[in-house]
Amino acid sequence: MDVRAMGRVLRRLRARAPEWNPTALADVADRTRRDPFRILIACLLSLRTKDETTGPASERLFALAGTPETMLRLTPRRIERAIFPVGFYRTKARVIRGVCRDLLARYGGAVPGSLEELLAFKGVGRKTANLVVTVGFGKPGICVDTHVNRISNRLGFVRTKTPEQTELALRKKLPRRYWVELNDLLVAFGQNVCQPLSPRCSICPVRGLCPRIGVIRSR
């Protein structure tokens, strides 16, 4: 698939996106007016956790604390109770407190807006950093999770194996005007239509453009 075809894919997905259930992180962004701190924390909670768990856990935690200062007033145990049952909830409680301490020490509590600065925080990987940059600050970045990785390869736009490889390939090939919306569109598409094992190809808005690479069974 070339760049022109990928552009058509993204335009079709953009038109259909209002019909789909929003992602947990898109919901957090909308409810918090794209607050970079809450987007950062919600993204940390979302790692290896399904959206139906991430959303309620984020709400419970933000009802207790919505800034680095107030978050550090909570004991690790209280954070754990608030975010359970997200995956690795004990580890994530420690990571959240560490990130909050570093935010206060290095930036006066403000979340930095560059990929390099965010990656310097312990526990913050490329997926999280790119999401904060794009959703929290509206800056160009490419956030690649399992959905973006799978769908980009299924469409034949890239030929990669890992999210890191996919991010680098997309940065080279995809025009920057599509970067900010890419994750939200492909994640919602992946959750609602282009699912991992049995994608819903019969109702797919891009089925005429997709070569369905790697698809063995579909609905």
145 belongs to the catalytic site: yes
* Separate counts of helices (H) and strands (E) for the chain: 13, 0
Reading the chain (219 residues) residue by residue, the pLDDT tens digits are 999 999 999 999 999 999 998 889 999 999 999 999 999 999 999 999 999 999 999 999 999 999 999 999 999 999 999 999 999 999 999 999 999 999 999 999 999 999 999 999 999 999 999 999 999 999 999 999 999 999 999 999 999 999 999 999 999 999 999 999 999 999 999 999 999 999 999 999 999 999 999 999 999
Computed on alpha carbons and rounded to an integer, the radius of gyration of the chain in Å comes to 18
127 belongs to the catalytic site: yes
Intrachain domains 3-20+141-203 and 24-137 with the same fold: no
Alpha carbon of 15 to those of 4, 18, 26, 64, 90: distances in Å?
Answer: 17, 7, 16, 37, 40
CATH code reported for the domain at 3-20+141-203: 1.10.1670.10
**What pTM was computed for the model?**
0.89
Which is the catalytic residue, given 51, 145, 173, 184?
145
Architecture of domain 24-137: Orthogonal Bundle (1.10)
- Cα gap 200→157, rounded to integer Å: 20
Which is the catalytic residue, given 35, 92, 127, 184?
127
Task: Write down the domain spans for the chain.
Answer: 3-20+141-203, 24-137
Q: Which of 52, 53, 57 is nearest to 41 (CA)?
A: 57
